């Protein structure tokens, strides 16, 4: 689906269900937004093609640069916010923050300017795909492998932001856009509009100080310290939000979604532990559950202290299993009951397509052949060794080793004639024993004169451990 359809679907469903609204929509009322008609030329260079989505801050349009012929996403502010100095400054800061960061997992800003009426706009790269909020609305949940793959990419983007002293402060599925990079999924972080600028970075926070009693962010993903005071927000606040997103991606529900009023949600974040993820999603790897639980520690000092630590903990879960059966209860991010072409199963060179589609029965037959071949090799080596020792040590029973060779070996597998490709030719090495070699007995052998070399052949054959 296109960015246009995906964004419109998310906005319409969000209004209908009233769940997880954007950060600015639940704070207060807004004036009706006038949306330019298709074909309208804005700022003398952008032709409006349609509406991508609407929110509390304004509207995002699909537009074409009339000179370059380039398709862009054009973000406009609501008229009542455009005249608010603080809101306008935050809008501009969003563009500056995104343009400062170079990660491929952050939406690219192309232009920042003002319209004819003086209100600011941001031109961003046009994306094909859908945000993770739309994925959840369509699929319900995704696998731990997919969730880990997506969030590791998000961590890369947020790590760069944190290095620039920028805390996103509004991470949620709707602000993580899933697109494609060649044949692999690529997640891009959207909306730095309510980000916090920490002193000492390349950006200067020219926005009026936020009231410490005001809430900035999306309630279901806000950390406890974020609810208490905006001054307490730091990079670990984004770690909490990523933990909430991981929880929701694999379970289909927010960890603190009480189903009640906003006050109940906030109280649950401050007071309650998240539900046991293992009970909600049986079969999840224990290590994955541990990662999510650590992100959701109430005490920031007990969480991952940096997003790169979180990414490192998630990397082991980004590898797809060798055989993936049907997933009726947990469809992929591509669609219910359909394969996931965005996450291809890589086949080692030389294996061909058959290696990725081997059935369990065929695999069992292969394992049976392997056990039979291995047992034959063991018997062959053991028999040759015992025969050689018996020949060399028959006159010296004191040094003989009691080895019982079973006359019959029972292998608990069905013997299937090996396929030509699996046939193994075993070649028994020949050992030439000198007929005149001395025989060992109970008495210690006398050391030969240094000038004689008669024991060299014996040493080469039986080694110093038998002397």
CA atoms of 107 and 395, how far apart (whole Å) = 85
Those residues whose C-beta lies under 8 Å from the C-beta of residue 229, and which sit 6 or more positions away, are 212
50 and 4 in contact (C-beta within 8 Å)? yes
Known active-site residue 170: yes
Distance between CA 114 and CA 8 in Å, rounded?
Answer: 25
Q: Give the active site residue among 170, 191, 234, 238.
A: 170
Largest CA distance in the chain: 111
Residue found under tokens 């809101």: 87
Instruction: Look at phi and psi of residue 283 and say left if phi exceeds 0, alpha if psi is from -120 to 50, else beta.
Output: left
- Alpha carbon distance 384, 381 (integer Å): 5
Q: Is 98 within 8 Å of 200 (Cβ atoms)?
A: no
φ, ψ for residue 217 (rounded to 5)? 140, -170
Question: Mind telling me the catalytic residues?
Answer: 170
């Amino acid at each position: 689906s296109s960015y246009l359809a995906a964004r419109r679907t998310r906005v319409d469903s969000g209004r209908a269900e009233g769940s997880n609204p954007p950060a600015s929509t639940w704070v207060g009322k807004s004036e009706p937004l006038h949306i330019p008609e298709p074909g309208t030329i804005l700022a003398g260079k952008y032709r409006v093609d349609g509406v991508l989505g609407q929110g509390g801050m304004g509207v995002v349009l699909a537009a074409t640069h009339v000179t370059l012929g380039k398709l862009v996403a054009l973000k406009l502010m609501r008229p009542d916010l455009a005249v608010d100095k603080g809101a306008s400054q935050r809008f501009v800061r969003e563009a500056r923050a995104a343009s400062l960061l170079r990660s491929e997992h952050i939406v690219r800003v192309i232009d920042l300017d003002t319209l004819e009426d003086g209100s600011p706009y941001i031109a961003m790269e046009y994306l094909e795909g859908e945000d993770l909020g739309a994925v959840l609305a369509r699929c319900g949940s995704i696998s731990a492998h997919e969730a880990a793959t997506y969030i590791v990419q998000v961590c890369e983007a947020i790590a760069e932001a944190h290095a620039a002293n920028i805390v996103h402060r509004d991470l949620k599925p709707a602000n993580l856009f899933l697109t494609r990079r060649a044949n692999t999924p690529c997640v891009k972080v959207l909306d730095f509009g309510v980000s916090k600028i920490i002193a000492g970075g390349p950006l200067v926070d020219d926005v009026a100080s936020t009231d410490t009693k005001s809430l900035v962010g999306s309630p279901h993903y806000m950390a406890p310290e974020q609810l208490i005071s905006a001054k307490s927000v730091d990079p670990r606040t984004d770690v909490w939000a990523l933990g909430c997103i991981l929880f929701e991606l694999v379970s289909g529900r927010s960890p603190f979604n009480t189903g009640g009023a906003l006050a109940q949600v906030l109280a649950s974040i401050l007071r309650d532990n998240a539900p046991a993820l293992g009970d909600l999603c049986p079969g999840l790897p224990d290590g994955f559950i541990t990662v999510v639980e650590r992100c959701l520690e109430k005490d920031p000092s007990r969480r991952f202290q940096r997003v790169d630590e979180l990414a490192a903990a998630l990397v082991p879960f980004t590898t797809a299993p060798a055989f993936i059966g049907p997933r009726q209860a947990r469809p992929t991010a591509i669609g219910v009951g359909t394969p996931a072409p965005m996450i291809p199963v890589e086949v080692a060179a030389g294996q061909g397509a058959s290696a990725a589609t081997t059935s369990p029965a065929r695999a069992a037959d292969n394992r049976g052949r392997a056990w039979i071949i291995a047992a034959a090799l063991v018997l062959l080596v053991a028999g040759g060794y015992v025969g050689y020792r018996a020949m060399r040590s028959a006159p010296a029973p004191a040094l003989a080793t009691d080895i019982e060779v079973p006359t019959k070996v029972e292998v608990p597998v069905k013997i299937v004639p090996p396929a030509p490709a699996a046939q193994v030719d075993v070649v028994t090495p020949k050992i030439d024993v000198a007929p005149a070699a001395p025989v060992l007995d109970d008495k210690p052998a006398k050391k030969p004169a240094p000038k004689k070399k008669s024991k060299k052949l014996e040493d080469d054959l039986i080694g110093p451990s038998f002397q």
